[in-house]
Every structure is written in C-alpha cells, then in structure tokens.
Structure 1
Amino acid sequence: MRIGIVTEYYRPWPGGISEHVHHEAEELAVRGHDVKVITGPATGGWRDEGPEVLRLGFEYTFTSNGALSRMVLGSYLLNFRRLLRRHDFDVVHVHAPMDPFLGIAALYSAECATVGTFHANFEPSFLWETLFRRLRSVTLPAWKRMHARIAVAEEARRSIAHYFPGEYEVIPNGVDTARFHPDVPVLDDLDDGRPKILFVGRADPRKGLALLLRAFADIRPAIDGLQLVVVGARAHEVESDLVHLEPEARSNIRFAGYASPEDMASYYASCDVFCSPATGQESQGIVLLEAMAAGRPPVAFAIPGYRDVVTHGVDGWLIDELSADALADGLRRVLRDRVEVARVGEAGRKTALGYSWPKVVQRIERVFETAVETRAAAGTSG
C-alpha cells in the first residue's frame, strides 16, 4: 500500500508521538509498503534519516495539557488536497487527528481511506470544550471522515470518546526491543560503579522532575555515591527547584541535555533504575517501555495509563501517593535491594517484548486494510 502518515510531531521534536510515527513508518517499509511522513519543519540543522519525510509550513509552539505542544501553520493548508492527490495514497494515517491544523486539514483533504490515532489522555477542560464542542461544526465532520480509529491506550480512548463516542481499537505504543536491550554498552563517562537513577523527559510540570529532584536530595545521603542522570530537561529550566537543594545534592545531578534516539539506549544501560514521576495526563508512557526493554525497572507514580503498563512488584514499582516523600521512600527501598532490581528488570524485559514494533505494526496494518475495505464498501471518496 501507499501510506501517508500525517503528524504535527516528528523528529527532532521529542516525545512519544514522534517516536511512534518514526518506528511505525520504518516497520511498514520493512513490510513492503511505500511510506511517507508528512509533518512540520525541523529546526537546528536536523537531517532526516530513514523514512521519506515531507516537511510543510512553520511551527507555532504553546503549552497544552501540561506540556509543550505545537501547531503547523502555513500556505500548505490551501494546497493540501493537491499534495495528497499527487502521492496517490491508499491510506492516510493521521496522528492526533483532531488537533489543529495539520490533522484536521489532512482529514478534509484526503481522497482515500483515512485512519486516526489518538494519543492524548486529558480531562474535560475549557480548551477541549472549545475545540470539540464549540467548534463542532468543524471537528465532527472531520471525525466522521475517518474510516477507522485507534487509541494508544484505554485512557486515550476514554478521553476522546467523552466527546466523540464510537469504535476505537486500542493498539499500544511499541518499543524497539533490539535497540533497547540489557546488553547495550554503558557510556564511558557513567561507567564508575556508582548507583544511578535515570530521568528522561522535558521539564514540563506534569513530568514531575521537581518532585524527583526533592526526592533525590532526600535519599542521596542514605545511598552511598548515588547520582541522578537527567536526559532531556536542562538545568536552567528547573533552576527554581535546584536552588532549594543542598550543594552536595546538586553536585550529584548530571544534566545530559538532549540525547539522540540512538544514544538513549546507552543512557538506560548506564543507570540502575528508571524513574518517571509524571503526575498525570500520560496515556501509556513510551519511556516506561524503553526502560523495561533495557532491563532497567521503572519506578513511577500509579497514574492512569502507567497502571496499564507496569504491574507493581512484578516488572516495576508504582507509588500511590503523588508526593516527593512517597517517591523518596519508594526509591530508597528499591535501591537498597540490588537482587530485587535485577529480578524485576528481567521481568520487565519480558513484558516489553510483547510491545515490539513488529507486533504493534502488524495490528495497525490490519486496521489499514479494514479502513480500505470500509471505504470501498461505502463507495465514497471521503
């Protein structure tokens, strides 16, 4: 099939949707499909590798649902139908299809089967009420133009179904179990034998880094040589939290900045446990799967979405109370028992194998086939 994957978010923009789209496109190509990713501009001299990428417009960034988001704007909106027609796609797969503007534009412009995948976990709010109810004359026709719908987790399905009841097949995010592996070499500058906690993510408040910084400062004196490695967020973004820490705690926090997808596996391999202290609005958590695939058990809050991935005490640990004190208690118990860390890490690897991209994309491919059949049976062009 000729498949166009439309997404506001793609590399180098960090996050779960970007990684999902990249691996979906790669695996579909391996399975013999002609795949193109249609997205917004890249920044910082980024060079695309792997799947063919068509970049459009310019980006506008803003904060939504507790995280940094973006919209792709530009004159492409006037010629999108012509672009899709030129590539003669059999299926257009739109990620976050109800987000303005790229997703909705794709649904209105496509003249082939369309599939939408919903990623967001959110509670009803003014933003969503405005987007989905007050703009219903725009969003409802776009929703109806999809021939099949996917949600990456039950929480994502629940969120969108509140506004648009209907059938959604839950197909989770996947993980590259070949890249994220327990036998990946450790980074030389982290190979010092000291115990380490890893955080991966942006400095968005809902990612919970401020809570982890306080928890780390609390437990560091009790765990000899303990370090915290932060990938993604930068020190200046959390300076207001760092100033309250003792100098000894600050000196044992390493901010690694942005890491390429290729380097991420080595960061997991270089640490003992992974901590994702997100406090909500997470549909599933690709970082949990990456850590589990690498054999590094996750410690996380027991929020909706995460509970669907991690089984407490089996392949990770979930903490009920959303506080720095509870997080510190949980991390302290885990780090004092290396045998238990190894056991849970092995179990996590087995769990992650069930989320391998070949298995996930095989299910997505079947949805594409169903969408093509549904459109053909309806005998319509949209």
Structure 2
Amino acid sequence: MRIGIVCPYSLDVPGGVQNHVRDLAEALIAGGNAVSVLAPGEDDREHPAYVVPAGRAVSVPYNGSVARLAFGPISATRVRRWLASGQFDVLHVHEPLTPSLSMLAVLSARGPVVATFHTAITRSRAMVAAQGVLQLVLERITARIAVSELARKVQVEHLGGSAWEIPNGVAVARFAGARPLPGWPGPGGAIGFLGRYTEPRKGFDVLREAWARLAPARPGLRLLV
C-alpha cells in the first residue's frame, strides 16, 4: 500500500507523538508498504529518507506544553503538493484537531483517512468557538484511533463520536539489550521518572510529594529523573 502519515509536531525536537510516527512508519515500511511522512522541519536538517519536511515550525502553547507547529497558506500549499504526488491509498494523520499540517491534510484529502488522537483535552471556550471547523474535519475522517481511555473519552463526550482504543506501539527490540546504569537500581530499589518534569501535566510534582512520604520508610530508595 501507499501510505501517507502526517505528524503535526516538528521532527527536529523530541516528543512522544514524533517517536510514535517514526516507529509506525518504519514498521509499515518493514512490512513492504511505501510510506511517506509529512512533518514540520527545516529543509536543511538531516531526516530519514521517508520524511518530507514541510518547513519551519513556530512554537505555540498547547495542552499545557509548547508545541512546534506549521500552519497557514504556505503549509497548505505544501500539503496539497505532497498529497498530489503521493497518490496514497490511505492517509494517517495524528492530532487532526490541532491547527497544523494534520488538519490541513484532512481538509485536502480525497481518500480514506485514519486519525489518531493522542491528547485528552477538556472542553473549552476555544473548542466551542471552533466547533464548526472541528466538525468539518471529523466528518472527513474514515476511522478514529485513541491512544488511551482518556483520549477516547474526549471523542465520546465532547466531539460526538467514538474511537478504537489502541495504545502507542513500542519498538521493544530496541530496548531488549539494555543494561542498567552502573550502580542502579541499588539494594534499596529505585523509582524512575521519564518526561519533561517542568510541565505540570507530566506529574513530577505528584511524584515529588509521593517521594517525600516513601523515602523515610524505605532506606536506600533512590530516584532517577
């Protein structure tokens, strides 16, 4: 199959959605499919052969974080050009309700569209104000995927539909040969935190409060961030 995948976030910075898109693309290619990924990114940066950079992204506060997105007339032109040249059997977009390449791709697509929703956003004034546009986008989607129960709940309660719950895939073979850091976890055990700890939604403050309770009762317990 010829499969087009759209990532809304810049591949020049690390992130969960970006990693998911890369892993998915490589798994589909390994299965014999022809895959092209469109994503924000600098043209002069080095990218995998299957990636088509859509130009510079701008930083936008979104869902308690800062996302690097591409949107506007130039981006729309690049999306249409990519779709025309790709002649995809199916288009797979991520976070299509974010003002981004994904939304532009859905609005320009002429074939089957699969959409994956990653975030668990709550209903807001902005969502209500944009309901007409969001509904137009949703009507063009053939099948919806939510990576978690919370993400699926948004579809049911706020967007008038549902989605198949399919968690993010993990390329476990990459980690099969991993070895613990020297001295870890230690005789007292260890807790690991992986994520952007400066963002409240990642939960580091919750872990810090839990640590204050656990540490006195667990001598030798260590925390790795």
Same fold (TM over 0.5): yes
Judge conservation of contact 2:39–2:51 (CA < 8 Å) in 1. Answer: yes
Spell out the pairing of 1:190-201 with structure 2 (5 A cutoff): 190=184, 195-201=189-195
Q: CA separation in 2, counterparts of 1:28 and 1:95?
A: 16
Q: CA separation in 2, counterparts of 1:77 and 1:103?
A: 10
Structure 1 residues 38 and 198 mapped into 2: Cα distance closer, same or farther (>3 Å)?
same
- C-alpha displacement of 1:185: 1.4
User: CA offsets, 1:247-276, max 9 Å, x none?
Assistant: xxxxxxxxxxxxxxxxxxxxxxxxxxxxxx
Residues 1:5 and 2:5 aligned together: yes
Aligned to 2:20: 20
- C-alpha displacement of 1:25: 0.8
- C-alpha displacement of 1:62: 2.9
Q: CA separation in 2, counterparts of 1:223 and 1:99?
A: 44
- Which secondary structure does the structure 1 equivalent of 2:159 belong to? coil
Higher helix share: 1
Q: CA separation in 2, counterparts of 1:52 and 1:162?
A: 36
Residues 1:80 and 2:106 aligned together: no
Q: CA separation in 2, counterparts of 1:191 and 1:154?
A: 31
Q: Say which of 161, 165, 171 aligns to 2:160.
A: 165
Structure 1 residues 126 and 86 mapped into 2: Cα distance closer, same or farther (>3 Å)?
same
Spell out the pairing of 1:44-55 with structure 2 (5 A cutoff): 47-49=46-48, 52-55=50-53
Aligned to 1:39: 39
- C-alpha displacement of 1:156: 1.4
Q: TM-score, normalised by structure 2?
A: 0.85
- C-alpha displacement of 1:207: 1.3
User: CA offsets, 1:269-295, max 9 Å, x none?
Assistant: xxxxxxxxxxxxxxxxxxxxxxxxxxx
Aligned to 1:148: 143
Judge conservation of contact 1:10–1:22 (CA < 8 Å) in 2. Answer: no
Q: CA separation in 2, counterparts of 1:16 and 1:151?
A: 14
Higher alpha-carbon Rg: 1
Aligned to 1:209: 204
AA in 2 matched with 1:198: G
- What is the Cα-based RMSD across aligned positions, in Å? 2.7
Judge conservation of contact 2:54–2:75 (CA < 8 Å) in 1. Answer: yes
- Which secondary structure does the structure 1 equivalent of 2:172 belong to? coil
Aligned to 2:121: 122
Q: CA separation in 1, counterparts of 2:206 and 2:150?
A: 24
Structure 1 residues 47 and 82 mapped into 2: Cα distance closer, same or farther (>3 Å)?
closer
- Which secondary structure does the structure 1 equivalent of 2:4 belong to? strand
Q: CA separation in 2, counterparts of 1:162 and 1:5?
A: 27
Structure 1 residues 84 and 179 mapped into 2: Cα distance closer, same or farther (>3 Å)?
same
- C-alpha displacement of 1:229: 1.2
Alignment gaps of 5+ in structure 2: none
AA in 2 matched with 1:179: R
Query: What is the aligned length?
Result: 223
Structure 1 residues 167 and 195 mapped into 2: Cα distance closer, same or farther (>3 Å)?
closer
Structure 1 residues 111 and 215 mapped into 2: Cα distance closer, same or farther (>3 Å)?
same
Identity score, percent: 36
Alignment gaps of 5+ in structure 1: 231-382
Judge conservation of contact 1:149–1:168 (CA < 8 Å) in 2. Answer: yes
